Amino acid sequence: MLEFTFNRISVVGAGGWGSALANLLANKGIDILIWAYEKEVVDEINTNHTNSTFIKGIDLNHNVRATSNLSELFKFSEIILSSVPTQYIRSVFSSINLSNKDLHIINVAKGIEQNTYHRCSEIFGDLGITMDRYSILTGPSHAEEVARQIPTTVVVSSENLEFAILVQKIFTTETFRVYTSTDTIGCEFGGSLKNIIAIASGIIDGLQFGDNTKAALITRGLAEINRLAVAFGANPQTMSGLAGLGDLFVTCNSFHSRNRRVGELIGQGKKLSEIINSMKMIAEGIASTKSVYELSKKINIEIPIIEKVYEILYEDLDPLLAIKQLMSRSSKNEWW
Write the DSSP assignment of 222-241 as a string of letters: HHHHHHHHHHTT--GGGGGS
For the sheet with 79-82, list strands across it. 64-67, 31-35, 8-12, 79-82, 104-107, 134-138, 152-157, 176-181
| Residue 181, helix vs strand vs coil | strand
CA gap 269, 322 in Å, rounded: 14
Task: Return the HEC string of 141-165.
Answer: CCHHHHHCCCCEEEEEECCCHHHHH
Q: What are phi and psi of 270, to 5 degrees?
A: -80, 155
* Residue 61 DSSP label: P
Contact criterion met (CB below 8 Å) for 291 and 117: yes
**Which residue of the set 194, 214, 290, 298 is catalytic?**
194
Q: Are 83 and 111 in contact (CB under 8 A)?
A: no
On whether the CB atoms of residues 266 and 285 are closer than 8 A, the answer is no
Residue whose C-alpha is closest to residue 124's, from 74, 86, 159, 73: 86
Torsion on CA atoms 302, 159, 153, 264, rounded to nearest 10: -30
How would you classify the pairing of strands 134-138 and 152-157?
A: antiparallel
Which residues, 6 or more positions from 316, have their beta carbon under 8 angstroms from its beta carbon?
none
Parallel, antiparallel or unpaired: strands 176-181 and 79-82:
unpaired
> Which helix (DSSP H) or strand (DSSP E) does residue 9 occupy?
strand 8-12
Is 194 among the catalytic positions? yes
Could you list the active site residues?
194
